[in-house]
Amino acid sequence: MTSLAPPAPRGSTATSAQGGRSGSVAWLAAPAFLMFVAFAIIPLIGVLVLSFTQWDGIGDIHAAGFDSWRSVLRDPGLVHALWVTFLIMILSWAFQTPLSLLIGVYLATRSRYREILAVIYFVPLLLSSAALAITYKALLDPNFGLGAGLGIPLLQQDWLGRDNLALGVLVFVVSWQFIPFHSLIYQSAVRQIPKTMFEASEIDGAGRLRQFFSITLPQLKYTVITSSTLMVVGSLTFFDLIFVLTGGGPGDATRALALDMYKRGFQASLMGPASAIAVILVLVGLGLALLLRRLGGRDATESQMEGV
Amino acid sequence: MATTLTTAPGTTTPTRPTQPAGGGRRRGRFNLPAGFAGLIWLAIVVIPLYWILITSLKTQSNYFLSNPFAPPTEPTLDNYRMVIEADFVRYFFNSAIVTAGAVIPAVLISFMAAYAIVRASNRSRFLRSVNAVFLMGLAIPLQAVIIPVYLIIIRLKMYDTLLAIILPSIAFAIPLSVLVLSNFIRDVPRELFESMRMDGATEWGTLWHLAFPLIRPALVTVTIYNGLSIWNGFLLPLILTQSPTQRTLPLALWTFQGQYSINVPAVLASVVLTTLPILALYAVGRRQLLSGLTAGFSK
**Cα–Cα distance, B70 to B227 (Å, whole number):** 35
DSSP 3-state of A54 = strand
Give the mean pLDDT of chain B: 83
Question: What's residue B109's pLDDT?
Answer: 96
Q: Are B147 and A191 within 8 A, CB to CB?
A: no
Residues 6+ apart with CB under 8 A from B256: B83, B86, B266, B267, B270
Q: Which residues of B touch A29 (CB under 8 A)?
A: 112-113, 116-117, 126-127, 130
Question: What's residue A3's pLDDT?
Answer: 37
Question: What's residue B298's pLDDT?
Answer: 54
Judged by a CB distance cut-off of 8 A, whether residue B119 touches chain A is: yes
**Cα–Cα distance, A281 to B144 (Å, whole number):** 6
Cβ–Cβ < 8 Å for A31, B112: yes
Task: Give which of A1, A25, A280 to mutate to test B binding, by max B Cβ within 10 Å.
Answer: A25
Cβ–Cβ < 8 Å for B247, B233: no
Question: A62 phi and psi, to 5 degrees?
Answer: -115, 145
Question: A273 phi and psi, to 5 degrees?
Answer: -60, -40
- Section B56-78 average pLDDT: 82
Q: pLDDT tens across B191-230, in order?
A: 888 888 888 888 888 888 888 998 888 898 889 889 988 9
Q: pLDDT tens across A130-160, in order?
A: 999 999 988 888 777 777 767 677 777 778 8
Q: pLDDT tens across A95-136, in order?
A: 999 999 999 988 888 888 888 888 889 899 889 999 999 999
Q: What is the full DSSP assignment across B135-195? A: HHHTT--GGGGHHHHHHHHHHTT-TTSHHHHHHHHHHHHHHHHHHHHHHHHHTS-HHHHHH
- Section A262-287 average pLDDT: 91
Give the mean pLDDT of chain A: 82
- Range with lowest mean pLDDT among A126-130, A158-162, B80-84, B109-113: A158-162
Cβ–Cβ < 8 Å for B179, B135: yes
Q: pLDDT tens across B11-54, in order?
A: 333 333 333 444 444 445 567 788 888 899 998 999 889 989 99
- Whether B117 shows a pLDDT value over 80: the answer reads yes
Q: Which residues of B touch A99 (CB under 8 A)?
A: 41
Residues 6+ apart with CB under 8 A from A89: A231, A232, A235, A236
Chain A, nearest residue to B264 by Cα: A138
Q: What is the full DSSP assignment across A133-155? A: HHHHHHHT-TTTSHHHHHT-GGG
- Whether A249 shows a pLDDT value over 80: the answer reads no
**Cα–Cα distance, A104 to A118 (Å, whole number):** 10
Q: pLDDT tens across A13-40, in order?
A: 333 333 344 457 888 999 999 999 999 9
**Cα–Cα distance, A120 to B4 (Å, whole number):** 10
Q: Of residues B102 and A145, which shows the higher confidence score?
A: B102
Question: What's residue B190's pLDDT?
Answer: 85
**Percent of all residues in chain A with a pLDDT value above 70, rounded to a whole number:** 87
How distant is the Cα of A266 from the closest Cα of chain B, in angstroms?
Answer: 8
Judged by a CB distance cut-off of 8 A, whether residue B205 touches chain A is: yes
Q: Which residues of B touch A230 (CB under 8 A)?
A: 297
Burial B65-83 (b: 16+ CB within 10 A, else e): ebebeeebeeebeebbebb
Question: What's residue A147's pLDDT?
Answer: 72
Helices (H) and strands (E) in chain A — how many of each? 16, 2
